Amino acid sequence: MEKAIDSSKPKASHRVEDDLSNEADELLLTLPREKNFDGTYLYQFNGVWYHLNFLYGMISTRRHFQARDSDIIVSTFPKSGTTWLKALTYAIVHRSRCAFEHSPLLTTNPYELVPFFETSLDNSHKILFLKYEDLKEDTYSYVNKLAEFLGCPFSNVEENERVIEEIVKLCSFENIKDSNVEEKERVIEEIVKLCSFENMKDLEVNKPGRNIPGHESKNSDYFRKGEVGDWANYLTPSMSERLKNLMEEKFSGSGLAFKLS
């Protein structure tokens, strides 16, 4: 006689540690769950709905991860400029290691706003709160602000190989007599250009392959226009109005305001 299988109990596809799996299984039994559009289940944990795979990863991270003072954590809501902010952070921290035209960002991506606003106000030295719309509108100022937060602000004259090479090549101080402020602006502009949406979208590394094996979506499908308010082109006027009212209701009194176009 075949052994009956209880399909109601979730199974983990990758269980590295038995005790971790048991902890996860016990936790899942206590969580509310709802069916997702693809037939799988989503589980509610701490007010957020998670896919099963993310829950197991989160439990493992919570158990093993030990933060260091030097760690930089980028925390964003999905599809809100995450890749862009990661690239800017990486380019700022490592800007003196190589020339911009040879940056690792041109061949690989540096990655394999949730409820932190109030915390960022209390711990401004450890948490920098950014909005994609602001970063998009005034990239120069926010890149400068990001560099200061990361502890590696732009110097008036960036002493790196690129500047030295230019001096040797031009053989004259007069040819590089840009003011200190202008040199600082040039370096920031180079980083903004390197991490621009258009540049990153066109990189070959972001075109081939698939994000999740077995799924139909290609990596290139995950890139949108990168324009604030583009979502309105996919909704009817009534849907847009409903979403606008819902956002105003939910964020009322929080001090947060988002540009919709």
**What does residue 49 show for φ and ψ, rounded to 5 degrees?**
-90, 125
Which range (62-66, 89-93, 95-99) has the least confidence? 95-99
| pTM for the model | 0.39
Residue type, 55: L
Question: What is the predicted pLDDT for the residue at 141?
Answer: 74
Q: Is 81 left (phi over 0), alpha (psi -120 to 50) or beta?
A: left
Rounded to an integer, the average pLDDT of 229-238 is 83
CB-based contact 133:259 (threshold 8 Å):
yes
Chain mean pLDDT for the chain: 67
Contacts 24+ apart (CB under 8 A), 126-130: 130/85
Please determine, for residue 105, whether its predicted confidence score (pLDDT) is greater than 50. Answer: no
Which carries the bigger pLDDT value, residue 244 or residue 92?
244
How high is the pLDDT of residue 13?
Answer: 43
